[in-house]
Structure 1
Amino acid sequence: MYIEQLQKYKPKLVLYLPIPFGFLGLMIYNYMSTANLDTAKLMQDYIKNFGENVTFMLLIVPFAIFLLGLLLYNRHVQNNSIRLLTTSRTKIDWRRVFFSFSVWGIFTVVSTLISFWLMPQDFVWNFKPFPFFVFLLLAVIFIPLQTSFEEYLFRAHLLQGLGLATQTRWVPLIVTSVLFGLMHAANPEVEKMGFIIMLYYIGTGLFLGILTLMDEGLELALGFHAANNLIGALLLTSDWSAFQTNSLFKDVSEPQVALQIVVPVVLIYPLLLLIFSKKYKWKNWDQKLFGSLQTIETE
C-alpha cells in the first residue's frame, strides 16, 4: 500500500512534476557542460587547490540542500507527511533502516578485506589520522543526507507520483531505475569504464525499487544506499571515483567490468533480495511488482 495509501488524500499529480523535471534538467546541464572535459583531471585540480575534504564538501552539500527542499516541498506544497513519503507503516521503521545498513556495511567491509588479502598489489594504505577523522565526521553527517535525497526523489516522490498517474507498479519501477542510472552519467567512473557501467547504476536502481515495492516502504533502500556510499567512501578511494576521499585504502588497480558490474547485479543483489524476503516474509511478488494499484476509499 506504499503507493495506494496516497489515494485517500487526492493528490494533485501535476505537483509531482516540478522537482524531478528541475533536478533532471540540472543533471542534463551538468552532463552537457562536462561532456568535453576530463572529469578525472578536473577532480584532481580541485583536490590540488582545495584538498580532499573541501572538495568532498563542495560535491556533497548541494544534495543536503536538495533533500531539505524536497521534504519542505512535500510537506508544504503537496500537504504530505514525511511518514507517507517513507512508508506504508504507521511509523517509520528505523530497525529496517539499520538492519539493511548493517547487512550491506558488513558485506562491504568483509569483501574489501578479502580483496586486499587476495590482491594486496591493488591497494595502497592511505590512512592519514587527522584528515581521515575530519572526513569521518563530515561523511557520517552528509553522506546519509545525499543518499536519502536520491531515495526520496526516485523511490518515493517520483515512484509514488508515476504509480498514481499510471495506476501501475512496473512503470514507476522501470522509469525510476533508468533515470537513477542516467543521473550518474557525468560521474568519472563512466569516463573511465565506458557506458557499460550504466548497467550497474540502472541495476542498482532496479534493486532499490524492488526493495521499496516489496517491503511497502523506503526503509530498506535508505539503509542500503547509506551503507553503500558511506562505508565505501571510508574504506576505499581511487583516482577515477566520484568521491576521492581521505579513505583508509586507495585502489590503484584498473576497474574490471565482470567484478564491478556483473557480480553485484547478477549475483549479489538477488542474494540480498532473498535474505530480505526471508526475514520480512515477502509474498505476492507478481502483484507487488507488476500488478495494478488497488483502489482504496478516499476521504
Structure 2
Amino acid sequence: MFISQVFKYQHDFWRYIIGVVTVVAGIIVGQIPLVIALFAEKGYEVLSMTDSEMMTALDSNYFLFLMLLTYAVALLFLLFIVKKLHEQPLRALTTSREKIDWSRFWFAFGLVSIFILITTIGDYFTNPGDYVLNFELKPFLILLVIAVIFVPLQTSFEEYFFRAYLMQGIGALSRNRWLPLIITSVIFGGLHFFNPEVTKLGNIIMIHYIGTGFLLGIMTLMDEGIELALGFHAANNLLTALIVTADWTAFQTNSIFKDVSEPSVGWDVLIPVVIIYPVFLYIMGRKYKWSNWKERLMGKVHKPQLLNVSEEN
C-alpha cells in the first residue's frame, strides 16, 4: 500500500519536519536567480512591486524559466532529503508497485491533453472574439523548450511533495488515509491563494484549486501511487502554458493564443469540480479497476505485520 510502505524506511515524524524545512529552504535558494534578475532590471523598485508587475518586468520566457527553476531546485532538495534522511528510494516515494508504471503517467497525460485541446478549440470557435493570435515563431520555440523541460519538473515537485512526501508522512503519523487527503489537498489549494487569478476573480476560485488538490489526492490513494497525478498535472500546466495565456494568469507566456475576454466566475468554477473531475475519476477507475473506495479513501493505515515481528525480535 502506498502509505503503509513508508514504515519500511526512516519514518519518524521529526524527519518530516526537517524535510519540510529543507524543502522550504530549497524554494528560497531556487528563487535567488529570479530575485537577482529582478533587482538587476528594476533595482529597489522591486520591493514595492506587485506579483503581476514582477511578471512583466522581465521577458516572459526569461521570467518563466527563472520561476520554474525555483521548483527544479526544490525538487532536488526534496529528493536529497528523501534519500539521505529517510533512506527511501524514489520508487517507494512514487508508487506501491514493484516499479514505476510510466504507462499510467502517459494515460493521464493523454487524457487531460485531449480534454484541454477539445474544450479550447470548442471555446475558440464558440467565442472567437475572446481570443487573439499571440503566436510568434521564435519566442514560441523558446517557450516550447523551457516548458517541455521545466514544467514537468514544477508539477513533479508539487506531486512528490504533496501527494507523496506529505501524504505518506501524515498518513504514517495519523494511521489513516482521510486526514492526509484533506490536509494535503487544502494546503495545496491554499498555496494558490497568492496567484494573480485569485486577485482577479476573487476567493471563489479557491474552490477550483482545493478541488484539484482533492482530485489528485483521490487518484493517488485509489491507484496506490502518484503516476496518474504526475501525468494529469504535467499535461494541465504544460498545455496551459503553450496554448492560451492571459494578462491575469500565473503563466503569462508567448503562447499560441491570448485570452482577452473579461474574466468572471460562476458555474464555470463549480462545473470542473462537480462534473468534470468525477468523470476523470470514473474513467481511471474503470480502466484500472478501482474498488473498495471507502476503505482506500477513509480507511486505516496499518503497519506491515512483517515489520512488527522484526521489531519484537
Task: Point out where structure 2 has 5 or more consecutive residues left out of the alignment.
Answer: 32-45
Match of 1:216 in 2: 224
For 1:150 and 1:293, locate their aligned partners in 2 and report how far apart those are by CA, in whole Å: 23
For 1:18 and 1:8, locate their aligned partners in 2 and report how far apart those are by CA, in whole Å: 19
Measured after TM superposition, the shift of residue 37 of structure 1 is 5.5
Equivalent AA in structure 2 for residue 193 of structure 1: L
Q: 1:101–1:224: 8 Å Cα contact kept in structure 2? A: yes
SS at match of 1:185: helix
Q: 2:244–2:256: 8 Å Cα contact kept in structure 1? A: yes
Match of 1:198 in 2: 206
Match of 1:274 in 2: 282
Q: Which structure has the greater CA radius of gyration?
A: 2
Measured after TM superposition, the shift of residue 18 of structure 1 is 2.6
Which string of whole-angstrom CA distances, capped at 9 and with x for unpartnered residues, describes residues 59-92 of structure 1? 1101000011101110111100000000000000
Asked if 1:53 is matched to 2:61, the reply is yes
For 2:242 and 2:19, locate their aligned partners in 1 and report how far apart those are by CA, in whole Å: 31
Asked if 1:65 is matched to 2:73, the reply is yes
Stretches of 4+ aligned residues off by more than 4 angstroms: 21-27, 34-37
For 1:66 and 1:163, locate their aligned partners in 2 and report how far apart those are by CA, in whole Å: 22
TM-score where L is the length of structure 2: 0.88
For 1:127 and 1:19, locate their aligned partners in 2 and report how far apart those are by CA, in whole Å: 42
Q: 1:134 aligns with which of 139, 142, 150?
A: 142
Which string of whole-angstrom CA distances, capped at 9 and with x for unpartnered residues, describes residues 144-168 of structure 1? 0000000000000000000000001
Q: 2:176–2:299: 8 Å Cα contact kept in structure 1? A: yes
Identify if the C-alpha distance between structure 1 residues 191 and 141 changes in structure 2 by more than 3 Å, giving closer, same or farther. Answer: same
Identify if the C-alpha distance between structure 1 residues 245 and 91 changes in structure 2 by more than 3 Å, giving closer, same or farther. Answer: same
SS at match of 1:184: helix
Which string of whole-angstrom CA distances, capped at 9 and with x for unpartnered residues, describes residues 90-118 of structure 1? 00000000000000011101110000000
Q: 1:24–1:183: 8 Å Cα contact kept in structure 2? A: no
SS at match of 1:240: coil
Match of 1:13 in 2: 13
Match of 2:53 in 1: 41
Residue identity over aligned pairs, in percent, reads 48
Asked if 1:95 is matched to 2:100, the reply is no
Within a 5 Å distance, the mapping from 1:94-113 to structure 2 comes to 94-113=102-121
Asked if 1:256 is matched to 2:268, the reply is no
Aligned residue pairs total: 290
Q: 2:10–2:88: 8 Å Cα contact kept in structure 1? A: no
TM-score where L is the length of structure 1: 0.92
Task: Point out where structure 1 has 5 or more consecutive residues left out of the alignment.
Answer: none
Q: 2:95–2:227: 8 Å Cα contact kept in structure 1? A: yes
Equivalent AA in structure 2 for residue 67 of structure 1: L
For 2:137 and 2:151, locate their aligned partners in 1 and report how far apart those are by CA, in whole Å: 20
For 2:254 and 2:152, locate their aligned partners in 1 and report how far apart those are by CA, in whole Å: 18
For 2:214 and 2:88, locate their aligned partners in 1 and report how far apart those are by CA, in whole Å: 25
Which string of whole-angstrom CA distances, capped at 9 and with x for unpartnered residues, describes residues 225-257 of structure 1? 000000111001000000100100000112232
Match of 1:2 in 2: 2
Q: 2:238 aligns with which of 218, 226, 230?
A: 230
Measured after TM superposition, the shift of residue 21 of structure 1 is 4.6
